[in-house]
Amino acid sequence: MVPPIPERVRPFVIAGILFALAISLPISNLFIQRQSLASNNNAEFKAVSDILVAKCADCHTKDLAQYPLYYDFPIASSIAHENVRNAQSSFLIDKKKLSGEIPFSESDVERLSRAMAKGDMPPAQYIALHWDSALNEKEQRTLSKWIDKRLKEFDIRPIPTENFFHPNPEKVALGEKLFNDKMLSASQSKSCASCHSLEKGGADQVQFSIGDNGQKSALNTPTVFNAAYNIAQYWNGRAANLKEQALEAVSNPHEMNADWNEVCSRLRNNETYQKLFLHAYPNGGITAANVSDAIAEYEHTLLTPGSKFDQFLAGDKEALSPEELEGYQLFKKQECFVCHTGPNLGGISFEKLGKTKDYFTTEMPGNRGRIDLSHRKEDLHVFKVPSLRNIELTAPYLHDGSAKTLPEVVQIMSEYQTDKSMTKEEIEKVVAFLRTLTSSSLSTRTKS
């Protein structure tokens, strides 16, 4: 029989038991084994991948997390699950990126750079239970060197004056005609240009477009200008490229509302189209695939270089006024560039609207975002980041067209995305900078 513990000793025993339990939790984490994922022969990338797997995978990946035994304990569970949800909502790292199958995007590298600069990842709460999770000096040097190298490849940069997509001239001519032809809609009353007017910044400058069937769309129409640079098309990214977008738009009941067989039949009965398709697609004929391909080829020419900001990036330091330059500095200070980067200043990542606090007060069909595509809870209210190019021409703003002016949308972003308040004067300076993103080529294009 175990002798009773003297009363004066009991507090020390209890304290000892609690201490042993508490210290056993982080000690148990030291025995978690992780395998390298990097599949290529690049030693530098393998080192970076191994660091990210070891230090970030538990909270920022879906398939690699190795959770400790206490992850589902009553008290720890709610805290841990909430932390992981927030982490993945903020930055979800695809397993294929860690293996090297697909590259890290510009936005991914910007996020890593920001975390390194702030020194707040992994957070102290995580390090307290994962003693080996903090980056040592060698790991910091390895990551910093790789990040710096990648940022030099990416960063905000001008739209090239040369079209590196190299579209086929015959397909472009055909695609332009199709883009403006109302034969592609069910009632033959709408064309692609009806909602993507080149005279209106590549959009239609209304909150919701009216489809061929007279119904309003659930989402605001994004610009077609520079869409070739986007990671995907539509707000939820359901079309992988411009060809897929054109293919869906014609048959979508909320857009052109047409039957592809009927559309192709109309085009085959048109002598002009017979000749144009014969030259552009000598072995393919008039098919839905070739129609959408020609439209996409034309849209690859809808690029808008030559803005004041492009001139500034190209080396003309006098291109921006003092107010515009201050606006650009504020744009960087607010960390807008983390999402709005690359030649299109956006369009290369998906982000949650309401990262710092809940933006949505009611649930409407158009507000759900990528969750309708991925069926993952963390994709609720996640949308493709829009391009900022020519933004002064494409009001209203946001996926639902609810922001009517540039000052209004800048205020929303500062409040719900960065949680960094801005004065009215600062907002005006950022707006002045955003107006420098309008291309001088648009005035020439819209007159032609």
Using alpha carbons, list the distances in angstroms from residue 343 to 96, 227, 447: 24, 11, 25
Q: Residue 436's closest CA among 303, 316, 311, 302?
A: 311
Given a contact cutoff of 8 angstroms between Cβ atoms, the answer to whether 429 and 423 are in contact is no
pLDDT digits (tens, 9 = 90+) for 274-323: 999 999 999 889 999 999 999 999 999 999 999 999 999 999 989 999 99
Same domain, 57 and 110: yes
Q: What is the pLDDT of residue 197?
A: 96
Same domain, 404 and 336: yes
Evaluate the CA torsion angle 132, 150, 340, 248 in order and state its sign. negative
Residue 152 scores a pLDDT above 80: no
Same domain, 191 and 145: no
Determine, yes or no, domain membership for 21: no
pTM for the full predicted model = 0.75
Which residue, of 125, 153, 181, is where some domain finishes? 153
Cα–Cα distance between 149 and 238 in angstroms, integer?
31
pLDDT digits (tens, 9 = 90+) for 337-350: 888 988 899 998 89
Strands annotated E in 177-312: none
By CB atoms closer than 10 A (0-12, 13-18, 19+), residue 445 is middle
Same domain, 182 and 280: yes
Q: What is the pLDDT of residue 378?
A: 86
Same domain, 406 and 436: yes
Which residue, of 299, 329, 354, is where some domain finishes? 299
Stretch 205-214: mean pLDDT: 94
- 67-76, 93-102, 141-150, 249-258: segment of lowest average pLDDT: 67-76
Same domain, 435 and 322: yes
Determine, yes or no, domain membership for 63: yes
Long-range contacts formed by 274-283: CB under 8 A, 24+ apart: 276/170, 276/173, 276/174, 276/177, 277/174, 279/170, 280/168, 280/170, 280/171, 280/173, 280/174, 281/171
Question: Count of domains in the chain?
Answer: 3
- Residue carrying structure tokens 């579209």: 167
Question: Which residues, other chains included, contact 106 with Cβ-Cβ below 8 Å and sequence gap of 6+?
Answer: 154, 155, 341, 342, 348, 349
Same domain, 339 and 382: yes
Determine, yes or no, domain membership for 359: yes
3-class DSSP state of 107: helix
* Alpha-helical regions (H) of 30-168: 43-60, 74-90, 95-99, 106-118, 124-129, 137-153
Domain of 178, CATH number, reads: 1.10.760.10
Same domain, 66 and 97: yes
Single-letter amino acid code for the residue at 34:
R
Determine, yes or no, domain membership for 6: no
Stretch 255-271: mean pLDDT: 97
Same domain, 315 and 443: yes
Neighbours of 364 (CB within 10 A): 9
Q: Residue 323's closest CA among 406, 432, 423, 411?
A: 432
Q: What is the pLDDT of residue 37?
A: 67
Instruction: Supply the range of the domain harboring residue 183.
Output: 169-299
Which residue, of 270, 299, 328, is where some domain finishes? 299
Largest distance between two CA atoms of the chain: 104
- 46-60, 287-301, 395-409, 419-433: segment of lowest average pLDDT: 46-60
Same domain, 319 and 419: yes
Q: The tokens of 390 are what?
A: 């020519």
Same domain, 285 and 241: yes
Given a contact cutoff of 8 angstroms between Cβ atoms, the answer to whether 47 and 142 are in contact is yes
Return mean pLDDT, the chain. Answer: 85
Q: The tokens of 392 are what?
A: 């002064």
Give 368's pLDDT tier (boundaries 50, 70, 90): very high
Residue 3 scores a pLDDT above 90: no
Cα–Cα distance between 242 and 264 in angstroms, integer?
19
Given a contact cutoff of 8 angstroms between Cβ atoms, the answer to whether 401 and 383 are in contact is no
Q: The tokens of 41 are what?
A: 């022969």
Residue 40 scores a pLDDT above 50: yes
Determine, yes or no, domain membership for 25: no
Range among 15-29, 55-69, 224-238 rated most confident: 224-238
**Any idea what DSSP says for residue 199?**
G
Q: What is the pLDDT of residue 14?
A: 60
Catalytic residue positions, numbered: 255
By CB atoms closer than 10 A (0-12, 13-18, 19+), residue 41 is exposed
DSSP string for residues in 291-337: HHHHHHHHHTT-----BHHHHHHTT-TTSS-HHHHHHHHHHHHTTGG
Determine, yes or no, domain membership for 9: no
**Any idea what DSSP says for residue 407?**
H
Determine, yes or no, domain membership for 20: no
Neighbours of 46 (CB within 10 A): 16
Determine, yes or no, domain membership for 14: no
Same domain, 314 and 441: yes
Given a contact cutoff of 8 angstroms between Cβ atoms, the answer to whether 200 and 381 are in contact is no
The separation between CA 220 and the C-alpha centre of its own chain, rounded to angstroms, equals 17
3-class DSSP state of 239: strand
3-class DSSP state of 54: helix
